[in-house]
Copies of this chain bind each other. A is one copy, B any other.
Amino acid sequence: MGIKAISQAVISRLPRYYRYLGQLRDEGIERISSRELSERMNVTASQIRQDLNNFGGFGHQGYGYNVDSLYIEIGKILGLTTKHNLILVGAGNLGRAIAGYAKFEKRGFIMRGIFDIDESLNGQDVRGIPIMPLDRIEQFILENDIDIAVICIPATASMAVVDRIVKCGIKAIWNFSHVDLDVPRDVIVENVHLSDSLMRLSYLMKQ
- A positions within 8 Å CB-CB of B: 11-12, 14-16, 18-19, 41-42, 77-80, 82, 84, 92-94, 96-98, 100-101, 103-104, 107-109, 147-148, 171-172, 174, 178, 180, 188, 190, 192-206
Contact = CB atoms under 8 A, between A and B. Distances in A.
Identify the 6 closest CB pairs spanning chains A and B, nearest first: A93-B97, A15-B196, A94-B97, A190-B201, A15-B199, A79-B206
Given A42-B180, A93-B100, A96-B93, A200 B190 contact: yes
Contact of A194 (B14, B171, B172, B192): B192
A197 B11 CA distance: 12
A200 B14 CA distance: 8
18 contacts: A11-B203, A18-B199, A19-B195, A41-B180, A79-B202, A79-B205, A80-B202, A84-B202, A103-B178, A104-B198, A107-B195, A107-B198, A109-B198, A171-B205, A172-B205, A188-B204, A190-B198, A192-B197
B178 A201 contact: no
Contacts of A197: 15, 174, 190, 192
B196 A16 contact: yes
B96 A203 contact: no
Max chain B C-beta neighbours (<10 A), residue from A11, A97, A171? A97
Of A92, A108, A147, most buried by chain B (CB within 10 Å of CB) is A92
A109 B9 CA distance: 32
